């Protein structure tokens, strides 16, 4: 009678327990389970009893569970607890705390296991929330440290110039020219310092939602043109072509904050020029369906795909070591665009497209010729190959091309001789754009030899395409430089 009463009490406690309960055979098969365990795993009783615990244990937790069971069965431990994952019937994962003990026969032989399984979902969620809060706090602390370190560096740089030249200025009374140089250096450094401080203040205002946007009817084409023109001298000094491709229809006015539009353009164009040492920076603009669309493209080194979103993060300067500035320009530009109801994004094409452009490649080295052919054809160009100087001249005299890529050192006739012959006689390619390329360093006087550009070997994919696109543009542009 007492045994029956104890059995009844156990059955009631087992089946009505608020946590999962299971009797498990030594081989892992389920002998008995309660409703709480079924709710935890999402399986009906019949399906669980038809299988074993191994089938619903997460693969990454199974080895540890089996090892503890072995130690329990062998008498090395009297029980164990572990946090483990179960794979639910719906494919989801549930974390649980497992507590296992061993029931033995009268002779001490192992009989079966008793498992108690407690759902840890709420606890794990709380732990994850704490971890996330700690991560956010750590990120904020790191951002603050990065900010202070970056600002300390950026502010010290112009201050060093200012202090140094101010000292020299005091000793330059006998040399007015040197004094003017010192004053100029101080002014330049002061403007840089002011720009950095303004960037920090602007970013703070935008982040705080305190940046005031005033939309007024604006001659946006003039605004874009004037903003681009600010960089003409810088582009000229770097030897980079700066182009504003004006839209055909310039009559419509846009309701926009002109000052903020200028700020966006200055940041975008300035960033593009900073990282472009060869080729071209192109600004395009259009007013479509009440929205102003701006695009700034450059032939710089580019940014890896996985870093595209980082370009809009404050202080990120991934494209150049020791780049001057605060690293806030693009971050401010995107936030200003967002504040004005727009969106900013970074897109990087794998190559400049030259769809349908006819290119003659004159190169006696087969490997180099093949490389140029593959690069150009991938960009959509129609490529004709010539194996030496005379072959290059013959092909150039027999059919029209848009661009000619000519090696300077070729058998039978040099690249210079080829171009000299073509320029001297009327024909298909007397005025076709020509690019000299060679492994012999830079050719400073390529223009006087009839070439439109020079490409040094070895060359990158992007630079080759940029050179071809630029040379063709220079030749066919009747207007010349479009920046005015």
pTM: 0.39
Backbone angles phi, psi at 306, to 5 degrees: -70, -10
pLDDT at 483: 34
pLDDT single digits (tens) 321-334: 444 445 566 667 67
Q: What is the mean pLDDT of residues 385-405?
A: 94
Contact call for residues 256 and 216 (beta carbons, < 8 A): yes
pLDDT at 351: 42
Question: Worst-scoring range by mean pLDDT, 12-21, 61-70, 247-256, 341-350?
Answer: 341-350
Q: Which long-range contacts (CB under 8 A, 24 or more apart) does 114-117 make?
A: 114/21, 114/22, 114/23, 114/24, 115/20, 115/21, 115/22, 115/23, 115/24, 115/53, 116/17, 116/19, 116/20, 116/21, 117/19, 117/20, 117/21, 117/22, 117/36, 117/37, 117/40, 117/86
Question: Worst-scoring range by mean pLDDT, 159-168, 209-218, 299-308, 405-414?
Answer: 299-308
Partnered with residue 292 across adjacent β-strands are: 287
pLDDT at 382: 93
Is pLDDT of 33 > 90? yes
Is pLDDT of 26 > 80? yes
pLDDT at 1: 52
Average pLDDT, the chain: 79
Q: And the tokens for 249?
A: 């229809």
Is pLDDT of 175 > 60? yes
N- to C-terminal Cα separation, the chain: 106
Question: Worst-scoring range by mean pLDDT, 105-109, 185-189, 451-455?
Answer: 185-189
The pLDDT-based confidence of 208 (bands split at 50, 70, 90) is low
> Ranked by mean pLDDT, which of 8-22, 156-170, 195-209 comes out on top?
8-22
pLDDT at 74: 93
pLDDT at 319: 46
pLDDT at 261: 82
Q: What is the mean pLDDT of residues 268-287?
A: 82
Is pLDDT of 308 > 60? no
Count of CB atoms within 10 A of residue 166's CB? 14
Q: What is the mean pLDDT of residues 221-247?
A: 85
> Ranked by mean pLDDT, which of 338-342, 349-353, 365-369, 421-425 comes out on top?
421-425
pLDDT at 28: 92
Q: What is the mean pLDDT of residues 309-320?
A: 50
pLDDT at 361: 96
Question: Worst-scoring range by mean pLDDT, 301-305, 358-362, 424-428?
Answer: 301-305
The answer for residues whose C-beta is within 8 angstroms of residue 446's C-beta and 6 or more apart is 436, 452, 453, 454
Q: And the tokens for 370?
A: 């093949």
Q: What is the mean pLDDT of residues 15-23?
A: 89
pLDDT at 347: 46
Question: Worst-scoring range by mean pLDDT, 129-143, 368-382, 393-407?
Answer: 129-143
Domains and CATH numbers, the chain: 2-119 (3.30.450.20), 125-207 (1.10.287.130), 216-339 (3.30.565.10), 358-476 (3.40.50.2300)
Dihedral sign, Cα of residue 104, residue 110, residue 112, residue 114: positive
What's the CA gap between 181 and 171, in Å, rounded? Answer: 13
Quote the percentage of the chain above a pLDDT of 90.
29
Quote the strand ranges of 151-197, DSSP E: none
The pLDDT-based confidence of 72 (bands split at 50, 70, 90) is very high
Contact call for residues 113 and 102 (beta carbons, < 8 A): yes
């Amino acid at each position: 009678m007492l045994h029956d009463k104890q059995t009844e009490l156990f059955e009631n406690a087992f089946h009505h327990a608020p946590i999962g309960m299971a009797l498990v055979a030594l081989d892992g098969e389920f002998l008995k389970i309660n409703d709480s365990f079924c709710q935890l795993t999402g399986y009906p009783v019949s399906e669980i009893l038809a299988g074993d615990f191994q089938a619903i244990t997460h693969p990454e937790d199974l080895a540890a569970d089996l090892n503890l069971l072995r130690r329990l069965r062998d008498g090395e431990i009297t029980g164990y607890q572990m946090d483990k994952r179960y794979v639910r019937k719906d494919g989801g994962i549930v974390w649980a705390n497992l507590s296992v003990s061993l029931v033995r026969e009268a002779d001490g032989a192992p009989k079966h296991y008793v498992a108690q399984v407690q759902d840890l979902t709420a606890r794990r969620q709380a732990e994850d929330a704490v971890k996330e809060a700690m991560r956010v706090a750590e990120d904020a602390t790191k951002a603050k440290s990065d900010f202070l370190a970056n600002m300390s560096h950026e502010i010290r740089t112009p201050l060093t110039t200012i202090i140094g030249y101010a000292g020299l200025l005091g000793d330059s009374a006998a040399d007015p020219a040197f004094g003017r140089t010192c004053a100029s250096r101080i002014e330049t450094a002061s403007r840089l310092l002011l720009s950095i401080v303004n960037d920090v203040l602007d970013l703070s205002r935008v982040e705080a939602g305190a940046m005031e946007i005033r939309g007024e009817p604006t001659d946006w084409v003039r605004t874009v043109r004037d903003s681009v023109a600010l960089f003409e001298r810088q582009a000229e000094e770097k030897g980079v072509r700066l182009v504003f491709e004006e839209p055909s229809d310039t009559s419509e006015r846009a309701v926009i904050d002109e000052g903020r539009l200028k700020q966006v353009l200055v940041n975008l164009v300035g960033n593009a020029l900073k990282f472009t040492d060869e080729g071209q920076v192109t600004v395009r603009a259009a007013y479509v369906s009440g929205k102003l669309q701006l695009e700034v493209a450059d032939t710089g080194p580019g940014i890896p795909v996985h870093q595209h979103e980082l370009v809009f993060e404050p202080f990120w300067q991934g494209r150049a070591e020791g780049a001057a500035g605060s690293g806030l320009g693009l971050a401010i530009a995107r936030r200003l665009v967002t504040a004005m109801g727009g969106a900013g994004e970074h897109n990087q094409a794998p190559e400049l497209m030259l769809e349908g452009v006819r290119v003659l490649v004159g190169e006696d080295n087969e490997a180099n010729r093949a490389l140029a052919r593959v690069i150009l054809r991938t960009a959509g160009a129609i490529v004709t190959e010539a194996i030496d100087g005379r072959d290059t001249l013959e092909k150039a005299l027999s059919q029209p091309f848009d661009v000619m890529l000519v090696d300077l050192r070729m058998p039978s006739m040099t690249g210079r001789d080829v171009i000299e012959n073509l320029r001297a006689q009327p024909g298909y390619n007397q005025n076709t754009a020509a690019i000299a390329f060679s492994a012999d360093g830079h050719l400073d006087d390529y223009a006087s030899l009839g070439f439109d550009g020079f490409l040094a070997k070895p060359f990158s994919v992007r630079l080759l395409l940029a050179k071809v696109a630029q040379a063709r543009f220079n030749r066919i542009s009747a207007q010349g430089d479009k920046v005015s």
